Structures are given as structure tokens and as C-alpha cells.
């Protein structure tokens, strides 16, 4: 079955450490996105990529970094510069043609100790 796989599902980090969240899709989608969700709030865009080897900052990119070396993969690194990293992180991808529907992974919950 096609879909988006995020790992790990839960991650604990000490302050000052960088962590990388994985996002893999087998939907053959060109565009991929990272969102952050805080309790009771909507999603906020961190980074997005429309094509391999290219990505753009979203609304809250500070303290985060991404890469897009392969079409299937769009990992997100939460760096020590991110002041409040505890949140639920969601990866999504979008088909560029047809229905243009956004498809999400199951999410990764990051907690900073």
C-alpha cells in the first residue's frame, strides 16, 4: 500500500541535542511538507520541497533544517537552536496533478527533557 511513513513515533531529547525525524513516501509525489502542531492549534508549516534538491522555508523555519536528496525522503532535523521544540510533527506529501490532495503521515511526537 502507498503511504507516508514517519519515524520514530515518539522521541525524547535532552536540551542542546539535535534530532532528526524521518519521513519516507512511496506515493511518487513531488512535493513534501513538514508541519508542526501544538496542542489545540492548527498546523504551522516549517519547510516544504517541491522537487528533489530544492526546498523552501515555511512560516516557522528557524531552528530547523531539511534535505531532499531523494524523491522519497524528506528528513527534518530539529537543532539546538529551536527554543521550544516539544511538539507533534507531521510530514505530508501532495500529488502535483489530479486531485491535488495532501496526504499525511502518522506523526512524530518530540519531547525535550
Q: What residues make contact with other proteins under the rule CB under 8 A?
A: 4, 6, 33, 35, 40-45, 48, 50, 56, 58, 88, 90, 92, 99-107, 109
Q: What is the Cα–Cα distance from 85 to 50, expressed in whole angstroms?
A: 25
- Smaller CB separation from other proteins, 18 or 57: 57
Beta bridge partners of 36: 44, 89
- Residue 86 or 88 with smaller CB distance to other proteins: 88
Q: Which residues contact 6 (CB under 8 A, 6 or more apart)?
A: 21, 22, 23, 89, 90, 91, 105, 106, 107, 108
Q: Closest separation between CB of residue 16 and other proteins, Å?
A: 27
Nearer to other proteins, 15 or 97 (CB): 97
Hey, CA dihedral for 68, 74, 80, 81, is it positive or negative? positive
- CB of 5: closest distance to other proteins in angstroms? 11
Amino acid at each position: 500500500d502507498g503511504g507516508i511513513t514517519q519515524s520514530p513515533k515518539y522521541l525524547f531529547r535532552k536540551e542542546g541535542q539535535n534530532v532528526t525525524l524521518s519521513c519516507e513516501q512511496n506515493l511518487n509525489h513531488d512535493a513534501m511538507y513538514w508541519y508542526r502542531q501544538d496542542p489545540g492549534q492548527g498546523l504551522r508549516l516549517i519547510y516544504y520541497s517541491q522537487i528533489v534538491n530544492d526546498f523552501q522555508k515555511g512560516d516557522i523555519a528557524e531552528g530547523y533544517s531539511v534535505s531532499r536528496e531523494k524523491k522519497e525522503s524528506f528528513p527534518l532535523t530539529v537543532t539546538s537552536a529551536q527554543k521550544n521544540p516539544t511538539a507533534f510533527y507531521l510530514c505530508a506529501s501532495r500529488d502535483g496533478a489530479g486531485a491535488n490532495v495532501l496526504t499525511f503521515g502518522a506523526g512524530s511526537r518530540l519531547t525535550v527533557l
